[in-house]
Amino acid sequence: MAAVIKIPGKNTKGIITFTTVERDRYIVGNSKIENQINELKNNWLFGIHHNWHDYSFSYNPLFDFHLAGKEDLISKDNSFFNNSNLDCCNFPPEVFSYHKSSEKHWDLLCVARPVFFKKIPEFYSIIRELYNKKIFIRVLLICRENEKKFSFLKYRYEYPRYKKHYYEYFNSFERKYFNLISIGFNSLFDIKTLSQFYNLSKVYVHTSDVERRSRTASYAFKSGIPVVCMKDIASILPENLHKKPYLYYAKSYKEFPDRILQAINFVNSKKNIRKNFQKVISYFSYKKSSIKLIEFFQRIQKIKYTKKDLLNFDLDNLDYRLGFSFSNKNKEDNLDTFFNYIKNAKKNKLIKNFDKKLSERKIKDYHLFYCKTTFVKSFFFRKKFILFKSIIKYILHFFK
């Protein structure tokens, strides 16, 4: 989804970012949308926030910059491109903060969507091994349900049986120590509520062996919580911070139980003081990351922003706004509406609309993305689709 980072100034361009979802599904290859972007380039910079690493990256001159980790994009033809070494993970809100171990309840926290690349079955096996040894650490797993979509490929990507397997792996006694919180797709915690679970946990664990920059891991580092993970998750930290007590690195899943216990023992020790976590907490400072992002845009435009230019930035909620995307068959219509709006709107109207530090959810009040015609069309087809989906599910029931 488009995020307006800055509106145009007297001598400076505005800044808009899209995610790789919008790039691949709605922009690249769509001549109408590509032409609209090219027509706006005199007044705007357009960039891509990469929601996944790309080791075969193809440079596209349509986009002026990229928001990704330093080693997350590898050009297949050695083309130069502007890469920030920053993304949404560098902007954990200030509600994530260091708390003393005496205030903690859970020994181990994991926050993950039930998809296979998060490796929840491996997480279960790690806890199972500890409990088999009668080491009953307190564990909290928070899972956000996936959007309910009908797909024949669903079970290749998603892990919908995570609750069923939780009850199969752990008996009633063990479940007193291992708590599972399942959140509905449309009933998410607000960020302040989520931060309380981090504040009450001693150690964070991320068991994926393929995911690189994890926002949930960045929340842990910002909270001064040791993170147990593999090398790809560790990539979110600079090399000089790849060490204990910030990071407990596991080369294989067999090493996870031992690393987890090491991290818990450190948190329970007298060495667990804020001073020993200050470097990693400081690295994920929202303010420092905002300054780095502004400096990045200055290098692209080869200018120095004035105080007036800085007032045209909206740097609120970047941990959410930069990486947020959704799939919608009418998204092309919404992008067309948005581009026509910023093309034809006068500067004073843009200032009026964006000066209030609008989040993306508030932008829809101006119908930049959610135009009324799009809403009516989607509502018209919804009832027919629900009926079709029910019939297919009923038929498939007899083939199980």
What does the domain layout of the chain look like in residue ranges?
3-90+285-369, 101-283
- Write the DSSP symbol of residue 257: H
More confident residue, 185 or 232: 232
Name the β-bridge partners of 204.
109, 227
Nearest to 146 by CA among 94, 175, 186: 186
Residue 94's pLDDT band (boundaries 50, 70, 90)?
Answer: very high
Q: CA-to-CA distance for 138 and 175, rounded, in angstroms?
A: 9
Class of domain 101-283: alpha beta
For residue 201, which phi and psi values (nearest 5 degrees)?
-120, 145
Q: Kindly tell me the burial class for residue 397, based on how many C-beta atoms sit within 10 Å of its own C-beta (0-12, 13-18, 19 or more).
A: exposed
Q: CA-to-CA distance for 122 and 235, rounded, in angstroms?
A: 21
Model pLDDT, residue 369: 26
Model pLDDT, residue 366: 26
Model pLDDT, residue 326: 60
Q: Percent helix, strand and coil across the chain, each rounded to 5?
A: 45, 15, 40
- In the sheet that 3-6 helps form, which strands lie side by side, from edge to edge? 3-6, 14-19, 44-49, 65-67
Q: CA-to-CA distance for 358 and 280, rounded, in angstroms?
A: 30
> Strand pairing of 65-67 and 44-49?
parallel
Q: CA-to-CA distance for 395 and 400, rounded, in angstroms?
A: 10
Q: Which two tokens stand for residue 134?
A: 């009668």
- Span 182-202, average pLDDT: 87
Check whether 254 has a pLDDT greater than 70.
yes
Peptide bond into 257 cis (omega under 30): no
User: CB under 8 Å to 355, separation ≥6 — which residues?
Assistant: none
Q: CA-to-CA distance for 399 and 361, rounded, in angstroms?
A: 42
For residue 243, which phi and psi values (nearest 5 degrees)?
-160, 165
Predicted structure pTM score = 0.83
pLDDT digits (tens, 9 = 90+) for 267-288: 999 999 999 999 999 999 999 9
- Quickly tell me which residue has 């508030």 as its tokens: 362
pLDDT digits (tens, 9 = 90+) for 103-132: 899 999 999 989 889 999 999 999 999 999
Q: CA-to-CA distance for 31 and 293, rounded, in angstroms?
A: 30
Q: CA-to-CA distance for 196 and 58, rounded, in angstroms?
A: 41
Model pLDDT, residue 360: 41
User: CB under 8 Å to 279, separation ≥6 — which residues?
Assistant: 241, 246
DSSP class per residue in 275-336: GGGHHHHHHT-HHHHHHHHHHHHHHHHTS---HHHHTTB--TTHHHHTT-----TTHHHHHH
More confident residue, 151 or 146: 146
Cβ–Cβ < 8 Å for 32, 61 = no
Model pLDDT, residue 149: 55
pLDDT digits (tens, 9 = 90+) for 5-42: 999 988 899 999 999 999 998 899 999 999 999 999 99
User: CB under 8 Å to 236, separation ≥6 — which residues?
Assistant: 69, 89, 212, 213, 214, 217, 218, 221
Q: Kindly tell me the burial class for residue 319, based on how many C-beta atoms sit within 10 Å of its own C-beta (0-12, 13-18, 19 or more).
A: buried
Name the β-bridge partners of 182.
143
